[in-house]
Chains A and B, each alone.
Chain A
Amino acid sequence: MDILVFVKRVPDTESRIRVSHETNTVVEEGLNFIISPYDEYALEEALRIKESKGGKVTAVSVGKEDALTILRKCLAMGADEAALIKDPLEETYDGLRTARIIAGFVKKKFPQARLLLFGKQSVGADNAQVPSMLAELLDLPQVNVVVRLELEEDRGVAYREIEGAQEKVAFPLPAVISAQKGLNEPRYETLKGIMAAKRKEIPIIPIEEIGIAAEDLAPRVAVTRLEIPPARRAGRVTSGPAEETARQLVEFLHREAKVI
């Protein structure tokens, strides 16, 4: 089974993010970049499917050449191949544009792919748009935010968490699946994997080669302003007998917070 896993290079969730107001971008200097954590669940699932059913896993990223680092990590974890679709633009926050690029890539280079795996969203942009948009563009079934996946030759069953229950979705292959935390526990790269990854070539495919119309490559999202969320203020703890603290709480909610 040919499996594609789409991964994105994002700032480490533990980094302190700074914003440049001149360019409306996140300041990259001093930031540590990682593979988006949800994408790791997607890759792990792909590797497990390969190990149990055979097949080939290809990790793909859209971005600049610095994304090669996370593709190398995917190879070290066990992906058979990797490819970078080279996009000269900075983060556009335009999910549809990315989905169009990926759709063009799949049609042109991997029409035989049976499973297209994503993380449910990339941390950083957090729009959770690309998997669904891609499924629509390719006219494929999709299941998102998946916590369990069972595959057969030409169909599968995916479980997703919904409010208070788990939803079971049956679908034919090929399909688009996006992974949620809980789907699996991603493995560490082994030393053997790292040494093998070192010897593999990662092809770089210029975005122009995919054959997407110029107007579709122009971002349609304009970022007008990026802001760091205000720091959360410390909570307040009241003390004393229950009647007294209840009175204080009501007073606070009424007079200061003005919610009752």
Chain B
Amino acid sequence: MNFELTEEQILLRDMVRDFAEKEIAPQIGAFEDSHLFPAEIIRKLADLGLLGMTIPSEYEGIRTDYLSFILALEELSRISPSVCLIVSVHTSLFSKSILEFGTPALKQKYLPRAARGEILGAFSLTEPGAGSDATSLKTKAAKKGQEYILNGTKSWVTAGSEADAILVFAQTERPEGPAKLSAFIVEKNFPGFKVARIEEKMGLHSSLTAEIALEDCRVPAENLLGEEGRGARIAFHLLDGSRIGIAAQAVGLSQQALELAVRYAKQREAFGRPISEFQAIQFMLADIATLVEAARLLTYRAADCYDRGLPYGKEAAMAKLFASEAASKVATHALQIHGGYGYSKEYEIERIYRDTRVLSIYEGTSEIQRLVIARNLLKDS
């Protein structure tokens, strides 16, 4: 067992940390407050190569080991979980789906541009009436000549209004048996594609979550990803990997909450001394730090399984479950340490508290993670 990061992993982590502190931190507050998409920041991340971290060099990306990728997401999230989420969806859901399931033509069509950041990708599984129950989607795809015609409403699409292309899941009819899920790459300029509205959310304001309306949306048949009817397998496979990214997002947010809580506890005085000298505060800090470290280790361990080619579905679910729920506890304690100021928008912990809440909901709720873990356990024995 070895808990040391390699020299390159440290170099990458420190570079992203440095970039996030100097280039993202001074600006992101304004984007969050005004619900604006941080396009310029995403472009700079593309220049550094961070949008191509899951794409191999033959498609102009620079694919790193998964742990390096996870470290980068953690550092982005420490300063901006919105930016982290946009990058995570583009790399570990959109780009990775085409790399693993796309035809050579589809890869050529999208991956080099995705790696360079010339196009931004998104992912769309959820619908107004289908979240955890992903196989009960209502959106239909009917083949007509050399096209599929898509009809339906997709919801909770991260960066959906900004993305150039979206991995969309829809039901394809079969002559025999019930309809089955299929996956399509849908571009925003395909006829019949419309951004219906932007959700007003509790947090992650600058990640712009959209509802998409598909009205006789015409998608070229070549944009079918994988075979017809294999959509569920594609979705679940992708989510297994991207969950490690959400765990990293939770760790980054928790780390920042910890740092803010420590700093505040040392500065704030009550009853004639810094509140950090009170055991009640010290115990909260100790609990926070322990949760952060445990979440981080589970997350790195899941990424390590991925890198070693070992099964990682259960490990990813455990990391996502634990890290997301830990983040909520960490944020609650950290805000408590800030007292009344923690409830003020002037302090960063207020935003962190709101941002953490969704972590145990999206990309598989905590309940779904427990199902995944339990199924793995029962299958093994």
* A residues whose Cβ falls under 8 Å from a Cβ of B: 68-69, 72-73, 76, 188-192, 194-195, 197-198
Contact B11 A191 (CB under 8 A): no
Task: Name 5 extra pairs, CB < 8 A, besides A189-B48, A191-B48, A194-B8.
Answer: A73-B11, A188-B18, A191-B50, A198-B7, A198-B8
Contact A190 B48 (CB under 8 A): yes
Query: B52: CB under 8 A from chain A?
Result: yes
Minimum distance in angstroms from B167 CB to a CB of chain A: 23
Chain A residue nearest in CB terms to B61: A191
Could you list 14 examples of A-B contacts with CB < 8 Å?
A68-B7, A69-B10, A72-B11, A76-B11, A189-B15, A190-B49, A191-B50, A191-B52, A191-B53, A191-B64, A194-B12, A195-B62, A195-B64, A198-B8
Contact B7 A195 (CB under 8 A): no
Closest 9 CB pairs of A and B: A191-B49, A191-B62, A189-B15, A198-B8, A190-B49, A190-B48, A188-B19, A192-B49, A194-B11
Interface of A: prevailing SS: helix
Q: Quick one: which of A68, A69, A194, A198 contacts B15, CB cutoff 8 A? A: A194
Interface contact tally, CB-CB below 8 A: 42
Minimum distance in angstroms from A184 CB to a CB of chain B: 15
B3-19 vs A, Cβ < 8 Å mask (1 yes, 0 no)? 00001101110110011
Contact A69 B7 (CB under 8 A): yes
Contact B7 A72 (CB under 8 A): yes
Chain A residue nearest in CB terms to B48: A190
Minimum distance in angstroms from B312 CB to a CB of chain A: 23
Contact B47 A189 (CB under 8 A): no
CA distance A188 to B52 in the complex (A): 16
CB interface residues, B 25-68, toward A, < 8 Å: 47-50, 52-53, 62, 64
Chain A residue nearest in CB terms to B10: A69
CA distance A76 to B13 in the complex (A): 13
CA distance A117 to B62 in the complex (A): 31
Q: Quick one: which of B8, B14, B19, B50 contacts A195, CB cutoff 8 A? A: B8
Chain A residue nearest in CB terms to B23: A188
CB interface residues, B 50-102, toward A, < 8 Å: 50, 52-53, 62, 64
Residues of B with C-beta under 8 A to A76: 11, 15
Contact A192 B62 (CB under 8 A): yes
CA distance A190 to B47 in the complex (A): 8
Contact B47 A197 (CB under 8 A): no
Chain A residue nearest in CB terms to B8: A198
